[in-house]
Amino acid sequence: MQCCKETKAKDFRRQRTRMREGIAPLESNLPSAKGTDSALFDQYLHIQHLNAAQFKEVYREKTWRRLRLRAYSLPKSSAADVINQMKALFGMGVVVVLGNWNEAGRTMKFQISPKTTGFRKIFKRTKIKGILPDEFRTSSLCFM
C-alpha cells in the first residue's frame, strides 16, 4: 500500500486516461499487431500509418515523457528509501530472512514467489544478505 502511494501509480493512470480521450477510439480500432498472419499485420500498419499524425500530436507532449520517467524512477526511489530505513534502524550487518510463501496458489509448486524474487534483487543490489529458507512443514516439525 505504501509503495502505491509513493510511486503515485493511481494518479499517473488517471492522468494517462484523461490525456488519451481524444485518441482512445483510434487506438481501440487498431487490429492486433501480434500473430503470424501477414494480412492482419499489413492492415495494422496501414491503419497505424493513417493515424500517425494524430498519435504523434498526443504522444509528443512533454507530459508523456515526464510520466514515463516518473513511472520508472519513483519505484526505484521507494525501494531505496526502504533500504535506507532498514540500514539506519538495524545497521550495516543486517541479514534478511525471506520466506517462500505461497501467495494463495498463484505461484507454481517448487517455484520462487515473484515477490521474493523482487526482494532478493533489491537486497543483492544493495549488498544486504538475504536468506531464503524452505518453509514446507516448518510449523508442524519441532527440532528441539
Q: What is the mean pLDDT of each run of 10 residues along the chain (144 residues)?
A: 70 82 80 79 88 85 84 82 86 80 62 70 84 71 62
pTM over the 0.75 mark: no
Q: Cell 541479514 identifies what position?
A: 95
Parse the chain into domains and list their residue ranges.
Answer: 1-77, 92-144
What confidence score (pLDDT) does residue 70 get? 84
Q: Which helix (H) or strand (E) holds 116?
A: helix 114-125
Closest to 83 in 3D by CA, of 131, 129, 132, 133: 129
Residues 6+ apart with CB under 8 A from 134: 100
Are 115 and 100 contacting, i.e. CB atoms less than 8 angstroms apart?
no
